[in-house]
Amino acid sequence: MQKKLVALLAVVLLAFVYLGGRLILINRDNGQAYTMQVLSQQAYDNQTIPYKRGKIIDAKGTVLADSLLVYNVIVDAKQILDKQDYYLEPTLDALERLGVNRSRIKEYIINHTDSQYYIARKSLSYQDKKAFEEEVAAGIKEEQKKEIKQADRVYSNIKGIWFESGYTRVYPHGDLACNVIGFSGSGNVGTGGLEEYYNDTLNGTEGRKYGYLDETLNMEQTMIDAVDGNNLVLTIDSNIQSIVQKYLNQHNEEYKNFEHPGNGSNNAACIVMDVNSGEVLAMAGTPFYDLNKPSDLAALVGMPKLDKNDEPEDAWLTYTDLLTMSDEDKPRYLNALWRNYCISDIFEPGSTAKPFTVATGLETGTVDPDDTFYCGGSKYVDGFQIKCHNNQGDGTLTVSQAVERSCNVALMEMAFQEGKENLTKFQDIFNFGLRTGIDLADEAKTDSFLSDSTMTDSMLATNAFGQNFNVTMIQMITGFCSLINGGNYYEPHVVKKITSPGGTTLKTIEPRLLKKTVSEETSERIRDYTIQVVEGEYGTGETARPAGYRIGGKTGTAETIPRFNGEYVVSFMGYAPAEDPQIAVYVVVDRPNFENQDDATFATVIVRSIMQEVLPYLNIYMSEPVTDEERAELDELGIAVTYTGDEPADKWEKSENW
């Protein structure tokens, strides 16, 4: 055993001798190189230079999203404690002036003696940083001038504080276009809307500042500049967007807590689109939220409570619910708040689908403009009684009258003449069931909800007037624009240009014509029919007409599932001017907070109000006389009417707010 121990000790000693020899040789041959490497690691200066995320700018140059330069206040506890008696208290005084809690930061410094990087405060503004630095510089100068001893100095003994630059995302107009823009948080990751869809475009590339020791052990500095992100220039017009949100808010306030506690409706949403390009001029849905505070739970008050499948219940959130809401539920409700109803929610369109059914018949030749249909108030199909909204019946109707009166029975008769194959074929042509391709995050796809060629007769009948299949708002308005503009289906979009950080145009998004849906002849007939919806003696959309204008459109009332629950989604799809459509306005009100929900007036009055302000703003002039009552209404809006009643108006005087 002793021999074995001696042998083992000898081996260990020989190993140490060998390693010692190797260290001597390494130091002799490569010592200088390794010394430089160690020194370089000790003194290596490596800093990330942040980039600025691109701006989001509206069609008229208003900045809707920007990134502001801010600073994190960094504390080096090790440096402060190097001469604690000199540095600690003056540094704590300085940190307190920078808005840092004195007692907490002192506790951290004392308990983390080796810490050289601690974020004491985030997002200090440039102005506050500059003021602090100027104060310190002036104080040091004064101390040197008076030759104050180091132990008694205040400003000169501030140590271990430095500033780390960065950017914070800001939204100057709060909730304006919140559903469209989305928001960006830490890490420059977009959530929802444009911020998410164009995340890579808006983001830039980080720069880097680093130093190294050269062969003479001098520190060399190298900097790679950051590359800022590109900007988005939108089709959205802030003025039109503001008008839309004003009247959606007005609806919400008018009917809030009316029939039950909660908002004026589960959702009230609007899209304004350029008929001849697919450009979205405005898009909004209630409730709104402040993009600068997207996680503020207060915006949830009045929204429907959600079941386990995130579907709305017949109960509504209160402030008390917010106080007791679990951490598990908060993300569910915030996601519901951030959701863009206009592109992400599906619903049955109701009678706004009737012009599409009529267009299908006209295009296929299965419905003639001179055809007539008899309505006795209901029709039995597959053993089911399917009623018209006029249970007394409308009698014999022409195609135009069927659209004007929104007669379900007449539309069912048209669908049977067209047949299942034609109806489903044109549903595809109008893009129902497919994403439109709009450049926003989270557009829904509805193909799994559409009926196919195996549909029953009752399914065919209900499809004819907009039930038994689902759509999104963006699908409906995009298809409807093609019905009234001559049959041109444009891809909808909200970005019209991408520019460099310096403002140079990098890419222009031109209107993209995807297909032809109907002929010009069919389009003209649909315009004639939908004008009668507003102007006809029995038209269902009379309340949508703004003072001084001729418009066309179609009302919609869809009973939600389960049927016979008294809950409805009501809507109006309007366009102006009637003779030469330029814009379309689509408003959907999901389950109004009112006893009798099956009334499209909830939507038509919103459309009327929006058009009343948007049309003159777009220099679309009046063509019709106005009554004294209408003139007084226009005066309140700041619009002076010059139309005399003898000839069309040719001049508008706009309020200073425009």
Domain boundaries, the chain: 2-42
pLDDT attached to residue 35:
46
pLDDT attached to residue 645:
58
Asked if 135 contacts 145 with a C-beta cutoff of 8 angstroms, the reply is no
Distances in Å between the alpha carbon of 146 and those of 99, 137, 140, 142, 152? 29, 14, 10, 6, 11
Question: Within the chain, which residues score under 70 in pLDDT?
Answer: 1, 3-8, 11-12, 20-46, 211-220, 448-453, 640, 642-658
Closest CA to 592 of 602, 578, 601: 602
Asked if 67 contacts 50 with a C-beta cutoff of 8 angstroms, the reply is no
The model carries a pTM of 0.87
Asked if 194 contacts 56 with a C-beta cutoff of 8 angstroms, the reply is yes
Residues 185 and 195: their CA atoms lie apart, in Å, by: 10
pLDDT attached to residue 34:
52
Range 142-151 burial, b when 16+ CB lie within 10 A, else e: ebeeeeeeee
Chain segment 137-161, per-residue pLDDT in tens: 998 888 888 878 777 778 888 999 9
Dihedrals φ, ψ of 47, to 5°?
A: -125, 140
Asked if 85 contacts 77 with a C-beta cutoff of 8 angstroms, the reply is no
C-alpha triplet 467, 473, 474: angle, nearest 5°: 130
Residue that has been written with the tokens 């009316």 in this structure: 258
